[in-house]
Structure 1
Amino acid sequence: MIYQCGACGKTTFEKCCSSEKRGDDGWGGSEAVAALIPLDPSFYPEFQYQSKGLLRDLLGKKREQASLNDILNSVLRKYSELKQPYFTNFIHANKSMDGAGESESPPGARVDGVYSDRELFREVLIRKGFTELEGIPVLLDKLLKTTYFNSVYSGFSRELSRHIKPRLSDTLASWIEEAGTTFRSDLALFFYFVWENDCGYEGVEFNKDAESSVGVPLLSKQALDGFMKLCEKIYFDLLVNRMSAQLENFNPNKFVTMYLVDAMDGFQFEAFLVEIFQTIGYDVKETKKTGDQGADLFVSRFGKNIVIQAKNYSGVVGNSAVQQAISAKTFYGCDEAMVVTNSYYSKSAKELALSAGVRLVDRAELQSYLDDYNQKMIEGFYEEDSMEFELD
């Protein structure tokens, strides 16, 4: 019913991702189809009968499909029982979804004695009774993707629920205003939410067979393309309105430039980052100024807790800042760590951050945050002026 592309990560209702490279026939080869993984175990190809010819289909299809259904029911039962805490905790402990395919190696000990986290996790599950992983090793990667999708979708749903309006166009406008260009990759998720919560919008007709039939899209590609055009129009109008507000309400004295940030001291920089992250939609908590174990700020969004190390430097930021962020993430048990600076990072700092999964925000990216912040300030001034006009 909903699929995820292994190449680009996009969710879609179609069995072939439109962003995949098309084949010579213009429709994409078998690799494009194979790259998409159903995010519901009931739809995994391993549990669907594969034709073996007319005669064999007549003689053995029902019996083999019944056997596959038994295996599927067993997998779904065990997955439901083990999803908490095993699958979910493994997702939280291993943030990267890289390494798909590792679980296809034979289970058990090997002569080389080198094992990935996924192989060890698979062995844990096998010993817990998940014996299907011995016969279908690729099943682990698919179940992890399903678990990861459910985790991400849960956060997406909480955010989207705040934008639901009586009319579809109003809901899309509210959502796009906050989500920005991510609507282009998340539109299928949007309509998945609309379907799941039975919002009943006029003009949105879901395929009733999609829930029970493999390969049947929830919304046709033609319908989804039509809604994408509507989203693009909404986004274009939003940009035009923002430009109009900026031109009408521009006040250089109320803008924060990077040069003003450069003039801040460390405490002022931290305080300003609180405003920045609050403005772009994060919940923010400052730490005490001493004994903070490398943490300057804590921010959270979509259920993830992130620790931030702030560095207002005139020179290049080195390994020390990244090491402090790593220590703070471990000490406070956060999901992610980030370093934010008005400067740039050394090559070794970038390498350390990459290996440790620490996100680095440098001067260029901080400037984009500043742009968003200033735009929000403009919109705030515009709303205040509008209110004053209405009161008059």
Structure 2
Amino acid sequence: MIYQCTSCRRKSFETKCPWCTNAPVQASGQPAPAALQVPLDPSFYPEFQYQTKGFLKDLLGKKKEQAQLNDLLRAVLRKYSELKKPYFANFFHTVRNVGVEPIDAETPSARENGTYSNRELFREVLIRKGFTELEELPHLLDKLLLTTGFNSAYLGFYTEISRHIKGSLREILRSWIAEAGVSYRDDLSLLFYFLWDNNIRHPEIQYADQASSAFGTPLLPWQTVKTWLDVCEQINFDILVERLATKLEFFDPNQFVTMYHVDAMNGYEFEKFLAQIFQTAGYDVEATKLSGDQGADLFVSKFGKKMVIQAKNYSGNVGNSAVQEAISAKSFYGCDDAMVVTNSYFTRSATELANAASVRLIGRRELQAYLDDHNQRIIEQFRLDGNDTEESTSQAFTGA
């Protein structure tokens, strides 16, 4: 049987989590909290397994007590199966604060504020539906809820992994890791369980088929799982190396935009460049006529507000006239805002006029900040695996 640890969330075939069992002592000097192994199948709950009471008592009473436990198990499994949908499944998916340790009283009682917990109410729903065993085993509800969640996760895994089941075991692992990344570190045992459960055999893996009926017998030895975890690490490393080599081969450094490129633009190219900036930032952009534009080079709009842009690709400082043109264009075209953008700097008087008229100025420093941000995003996108596009925004131009 396969288990999921309630602490680290990893899956294994062990009744004690091999990761958490060997976890180092915490900084406080105290051992890590005990983790609970939740089986996919409630048949493997320890409550239904005979616990030894010594040689003589085992000899006299084990058979009878195990028979009673088997009867109890059959009743629990039948009622759980009947009530799993919709009750358990819907409760698990709608109430997310289901803990591992029982926190409710065995006898329902209101809290000091007069309320009842969700689980307390849910347990009463089940008891009234005939699941009276929960009165004898009040802690069973927590485990059944966790098993319900594990089953739901396994169904999702089943769907996702099915398309990778083709070829040898290493080919399956490579296909899975290429898509799912390092999830094998948590779910490799779940993959082996899937293969065994669907009778998909590979000569490298020898299952202990008696594990399906013998409590405490792992389907695969932990050492075997560890060996294949190492194989997965090597496969993942190879995939990352191959992806980096491909990226380096096809990466185009001409994507980077520097101020040198901007300075080399003519007026029309600069306006076109600004149009791309605003489009990237999510604006609708409209260019003006090449002549008779009344001081407007671009119109950009977003969220119902329209702004006129005056573009100045200068080698010297930008003076009052550019700001005055933006003010005139704002009034002439009935825009909400006005902006002047340059690859140079503004004179002091131009800055004072812009402040008085609420015209936004984007000078060389602000433009450089955008270019730095733009180029950094190219680098970040290069580092990301599988992300073909990444939204780019500019605080300098959007004010976000």
Who is 1:238 aligned against? 239
Who is 1:84 aligned against? 85
Aligned residues of 1:103 and 1:122 also touching (Cα < 8 A): no
Aligned residues of 2:381 and 2:387 also touching (Cα < 8 A): no
Who is 1:18 aligned against? 18
Name the SS of the counterpart of 2:209 in structure 1: coil
Please give the per-residue CA displacement for 1:64-91, whole angstroms capped at 9, x wherever unaligned: 1111111100000000000111011112
Q: In structure 2, what residue type is equivalent to 1:135?
A: E
Residues 254 and 124 of structure 1: CA distance in aligned 2, closer, same or farther (over 3 Å): farther
Aligned residues of 1:103 and 1:140 also touching (Cα < 8 A): no
Who is 1:46 aligned against? 47
How much does 1:31 deviate? 8.4
Who is 1:5 aligned against? 5
Residues 108 and 371 of structure 1: CA distance in aligned 2, closer, same or farther (over 3 Å): farther
How much does 1:101 deviate? 2.2
Residues 247 and 114 of structure 1: CA distance in aligned 2, closer, same or farther (over 3 Å): same
Residues 115 and 67 of structure 1: CA distance in aligned 2, closer, same or farther (over 3 Å): same
The whole-number CA distance in structure 2 between the counterparts of 1:367 and 1:71 is 62
How much does 1:165 deviate? 0.9
Who is 1:163 aligned against? 164
The whole-number CA distance in structure 2 between the counterparts of 1:261 and 1:100 is 52
Please give the per-residue CA displacement for 1:98-127, whole angstroms capped at 9, x wherever unaligned: x22235521323463332211111111011
The whole-number CA distance in structure 2 between the counterparts of 1:135 and 1:261 is 68
The whole-number CA distance in structure 2 between the counterparts of 1:110 and 1:96 is 19
Rg larger in structure:
2
How much does 1:148 deviate? 0.6
Aligned residues of 2:3 and 2:15 also touching (Cα < 8 A): yes
Please give the per-residue CA displacement for 1:181-200, whole angstroms capped at 9, x wherever unaligned: 11111101111111111112
The answer to whether structure 1 residue 107 and structure 2 residue 107 are counterparts is yes
Who is 1:172 aligned against? 173
Who is 1:128 aligned against? 129
- Which runs of 5 or more residues in structure 1 are unaligned? 269-288, 290-365, 379-392
The whole-number CA distance in structure 1 between the counterparts of 2:379 and 2:182 is 14
Aligned residues of 2:24 and 2:31 also touching (Cα < 8 A): no
Residues 111 and 151 of structure 1: CA distance in aligned 2, closer, same or farther (over 3 Å): closer
Instruction: Give the aligned length.
Output: 276
Name the SS of the counterpart of 2:4 in structure 1: strand
The whole-number CA distance in structure 1 between the counterparts of 2:17 and 2:69 is 27
- Which runs of 5 or more residues in structure 2 are unaligned? 258-275, 285-302, 304-376, 390-400
Aligned residues of 1:75 and 1:132 also touching (Cα < 8 A): yes
Residues 8 and 255 of structure 1: CA distance in aligned 2, closer, same or farther (over 3 Å): farther
The whole-number CA distance in structure 2 between the counterparts of 1:213 and 1:162 is 31
Name the SS of the counterpart of 1:16 in structure 2: coil
Kindly report which structure 2 residues correspond to 1:57-76, keeping only aligned pairs within 5 A, or say none: 57-76=58-77
How much does 1:40 deviate? 1.3
The whole-number CA distance in structure 2 between the counterparts of 1:43 and 1:101 is 18
Of 249, 257, 280, 1:264 maps to: 280
How much does 1:23 deviate? 8.0
Residues 210 and 9 of structure 1: CA distance in aligned 2, closer, same or farther (over 3 Å): same
Q: When the two structures are superposed, what TM-score results if normalisation uses the length of structure 1?
A: 0.63
Q: In structure 2, what residue type is equivalent to 1:206?
A: Y
Higher alpha-carbon deviation: 197-206 or 102-111:
102-111
Residues 56 and 41 of structure 1: CA distance in aligned 2, closer, same or farther (over 3 Å): same
Please give the per-residue CA displacement for 1:230-249, whole angstroms capped at 9, x wherever unaligned: 11111111011011101111
Aligned residues of 1:102 and 1:119 also touching (Cα < 8 A): no
Q: In structure 2, what residue type is equivalent to 1:233?
A: Q
Name the SS of the counterpart of 1:134 in structure 2: helix
Please give the per-residue CA displacement for 1:280-329, whole angstroms capped at 9, x wherever unaligned: xxxxxxxxx9xxxxxxxxxxxxxxxxxxxxxxxxxxxxxxxxxxxxxxxx
Aligned residues of 2:7 and 2:35 also touching (Cα < 8 A): no
Residues 247 and 85 of structure 1: CA distance in aligned 2, closer, same or farther (over 3 Å): same
Residues 147 and 212 of structure 1: CA distance in aligned 2, closer, same or farther (over 3 Å): same
Q: When the two structures are superposed, what TM-score results if normalisation uses the length of structure 2?
A: 0.62
